[in-house]
A and B are shown apart, each in its own frame.
Chain A
């Protein structure tokens, strides 16, 4: 069956870079777009961007200058990297399959604090 699981660092210091991995099973990354959505106390659910089945990306301009989404299809993994973290970036980060939010990971809590 379809499964998605995020793995993240938990705690990140301000100004540092966040790296999260989403490992999927039950489908191929070359057949589906994969997106990142975060949920913060300040802004609720925010769509961050996605990587298409062909490998190209689309980002929310809110994050564009500091966000990167990539993947390794051989490992069934999608990656989020975001730099210059601020305390307002504290929240739960989800990967989700982009067929109208049909499948979500469990989420990984990221706390930005010194």
Chain B
């Protein structure tokens, strides 16, 4: 199985600060069609996960452009510019290139 390693496991931030979360995969996430199926999710407290970004850098519907995703092959980053209170929760990366689909262990974003 592809192992997804997220760092850091937790982040303490002030509102308005910018932060980055890293996600590294144990195998390349480039599929045979040339696309990379790496996605980012946010799980707010008590809620289901919500997709933020799909295929490395595409913003989901209704997701503010404070969120951005970059990366390639096995190394990916989610950046949040100007954190707002509604951004707090646990962030997960997920890959759908290989079977079984796998998720990172999560990065908990908390208020400083």
Interface residues of A (CB under 8 A from B): 35, 44-47, 58, 60-62, 94, 98, 100-102, 104-107
Contacts and interface: CB of A to CB of B under 8 A. Distances in A.
Interface in B42-56: 48-51, 54-55
Nearest to B48: A104
B49 A105 contact: no
B96 A61 contact: no
18 contacts: A44-B103, A44-B105, A45-B92, A45-B106, A46-B103, A47-B100, A47-B101, A58-B99, A60-B100, A98-B96, A100-B39, A100-B54, A101-B39, A102-B51, A102-B61, A104-B50, A105-B48, A107-B48
A9 B7 CA distance: 36
Contacts of B102: 47
Interface of B: 37, 39, 41, 48-51, 54-55, 60-61, 92, 94, 96, 99-103, 105-106
B26 to A, nearest CB: 16
Contacts of A102: 51, 54, 60-61
The B interface is mostly helix, strand or loop, or mixed, namely loop
Main secondary structure of the interface of A (DSSP, over half): loop
B103 A45 contact: yes
Contact of A47 (B37, B41, B103): B103
A45 B49 contact: yes
B55 A44 contact: no
A110 B55 CA distance: 31
A105 B47 CA distance: 10
Contact of A101 (B41, B99, B100, B106): B41
Contact of A106 (B48, B51, B54): B48
Contacts of B49: 45, 94, 101, 104
Contacts of A44: 103, 105-106
Contacts of A94: 48-49
